[in-house]
Structure 1
């Protein structure tokens, strides 16, 4: 630590020496009052040497004093430097600690960002689930409202029918207004009428080959599939698609079978349905009656059926139009032309209307005349193996169960 001070002191001494020399050169001659003294060259040299030595001693003294001061100041400067070094180390330690804290904060910030990203993903997932649940809730709400409406309608209907049953005690005490054997007889008459009219229609037909496209033929026959059944439908389809078709007696048999089966099943629908020929409008009565049959006795359920059927006014014209349309499609399907465009001839209209009246009469008896039992007519599809037990209900011990 003393080296820099010595250099600094020596530089200051050089500056002082230079200043002393400069001052000596700038000293103006001193005016003396005494008369000038003559000095020899030797004396002048001595005088200059003494002055120079004196100046050197003075400078040396100053230099020694400066070194003394520097030596005295050195411990203080060293102490101050040590303090500065300690403070610098403290700052470095604090800075290192700050850096460590900063790294920890950055690591924590990274973890927080990761958690935030995970939370955002979860929020999006929950939001999507919430939307889906909201849609499901809305759909369920709509379904519940629909069910509630249907329940209210059914409850109202049951309430009305219950009130009617409550106020109809006399009617509830009445027995069946017709016997099941009489209904069976009416069904036999209807079967005979259908068979007779099918033969009459067969005799009046003039066959012709199908001239339309296969698609038109399929569309025309599609409406008859439920009436004819799969066995008869397939045979009729193959016959009409035969390019080498030649009509003979076997075709007469198939034609009569198609006409008789189609009219029979159409009459069956009219008889058994609640509100023919408006099939969909009667489904609610089927559900209510089926539910009632599981909860109350047959007599009460039968009276409710009879009362409900009494209030359902059958549209006779609609049923006539329905059966006329069935016959028109049957005639077209078996290969016979329909005169007057799509309209049946007047004689055929009268015959099919007579069949409709007989079917509606049986419908009224089946729905309104019986309370002790449920009656329905049924038909056996063509191609079904013969089963003698199926014939017992007509005249056997179980007569009256079915017609």
Structure 2
């Protein structure tokens, strides 16, 4: 306490001893001290603020450094990823370039493939067209090479027997339906009148005799002309059989009922085909030709029945029937058209069977022309009694009454050699048999 008093005394003493200038100097110094203190306080505050700011800056810098480090890491990772992406991109570019080359190659291959496809399509079209042509050729070849027959030999033979039977029955029926007057001799009354009448008929009858001769031959025509028929019409019946057999043979063997020159040409062609080709080929050629050539006259097919009726009329006129041609034609057509139609249809059916429905062999109807030598091994005499009596004599055939049937097959691999079998021998009539028959009838 004493020390405090002392100090105060001293202070007051010192202060008292100070001059005014000193006082003002001290005051100024004191003021300056306060100013400096305030400045120091302000600076300390600023320093403290700076320290805080520095700490914050350091903290922020640390955060930023950490962020920067993180960013560096991320950047490094990004660089690594970029390297990876770069490598991938380079690989992709390489792959893309390779793919581009592949696309280019595939484009070229596609273009080539399109070109080849076009060529293949064109080749396919050509092949298809060729296949169609070959298919048609194969069908044609199959048609030629097939050996299947529609009918057997026994069936063909049965058809011919039926035709012969129908011819016989029709001939007998027609012959018995007409009345014949006795022929007048030179001693009969009115000989001059008859001669005068015959003179008037000469031109007309000459045509009748010529037609009868064409069908039956001159000897049968003379027999019809000179023989008596009022008691026994057997000769008329035989003549009818012969005429129907002749026309039936013509129908069966004809290609298409036209010009004989054309018929002979087709026969010659077929003969050459038969000589050069195997049976299967020649048989099919014949079948196809018969089938198609018949269509040439399908619009104007001849009236085949009229040939038979005209033959009947000419035979009756030759035999001395006094009716006119038109009267006979009308009578026969009205009474026997159905019978004649049956014969014609049978002949046409046999023609189709032999010509078109059998190819493994050749069936031939056997018809013996008039005046041919009588050959017992090849033919039968329909009048057997005369045949037995005149066996050793060479006698010409008068006419054919029943058609026969032969079968021919070309020997395989041998040109011009044929195997021939007679399935049915034709029946003929001899003049000696007619004479015997007429003598028996007149006795």
> Taking structure 1 as reference, are residues 178 and 280 closer, same or farther at Cα in structure 2, changes over 3 Å only?
same
Higher radius of gyration, 1 or 2: 2
Q: CA deviation at 1:394?
A: 6.2
TM-score, normalised with respect to structure 2: 0.46
Gaps of 5+ in 1: 1-162, 240-245
Question: Residue 309 of structure 2: SS of its match in structure 1?
Answer: helix
CA distance in 2: counterparts of 1:219 and 1:323, whole angstroms: 17
Q: Is the 8 A contact 2:279 2:359 kept in 1?
A: yes
Q: What is the CA–CA distance in structure 2 between the aligned matches of 1:165 and 1:221, rounded to whole Å?
A: 53
1:255 alignment counterpart: 236
**1:310-343 alpha-carbon deviations (Å, 9 max, x no partner):** 1123755532233332233223222333564643
Aligned with 2:213 (options 215, 220, 225): 225
Q: Which of residues 387, 391, 394 in structure 1 aligns to 2:376?
A: 387
Instruction: Provide the alpha-carbon RMSD of the alignment.
Output: 3.3
Contact 1:183–1:362 under 8 Å retained in 2: yes
Bigger shift: residues 218-227 or 189-198: 218-227
Aligned-partner Cα distance in 2 for 1:195–1:341:
20
The residue that corresponds to 2:347 in the other structure is: 359
Distance 1:400-1:342 versus aligned 2 partners, 3 A rule: closer
The offset of 1:165, in angstroms, is: 7.2
d(CA) in 1 for partners of 2:177 and 2:374?
32
* TM-score normalised by L of structure 1: 0.51
What's the CA shift string for 1:40-68, capped at 9, x where partnerless? xxxxxxxxxxxxxxxxxxxxxxxxxxxxx
**More moved, 163-172 vs 322-331:** 163-172
Distance change in 2, residues 1:169/1:386 (3 Å): closer
Match of 1:334 in 2: 319
User: 1:398 maps to which residue?
Assistant: 421
Aligned to 1:304: 285
* Contact 2:224–2:315 (8 Å) recurs in 1: no
Partner of 1:376: helix, strand, or coil? Answer: strand
Counterparts of 1:164 and 1:224 in 2: how far apart (Å)? 50
Return the structure number with greater strand share.
2
Q: Does 1:169 align with 2:141?
A: yes
Aligned length: 233
**Cα drift, residue 369 of structure 1:** 1.3
Q: Does 1:323 align with 2:290?
A: no
Aligned counterpart, 1:61? none
**What's the CA shift for 1:300?**
0.8
- List alignment gaps of at least 5 residues for structure 2: 1-134, 184-193, 381-403, 408-419, 427-443
1:369-380 matches, within 5 Å, as: 369-380=357-368
Query: Structure 1 261/168 Cα, relative in aligned 2: closer, same or farther at 3 Å?
Result: same
Counterparts of 1:283 and 1:380, CA distance in 2: 18
Residue 203 (1) aligns with residue 176 (2): yes
Q: CA deviation at 1:358?
A: 0.6
Q: CA deviation at 1:352?
A: 0.9
Higher RCO structure (Cα 8 Å, ≥6 apart): 1
What corresponds to 2:356 in structure 1? 368
Match of 2:222 in 1: 234
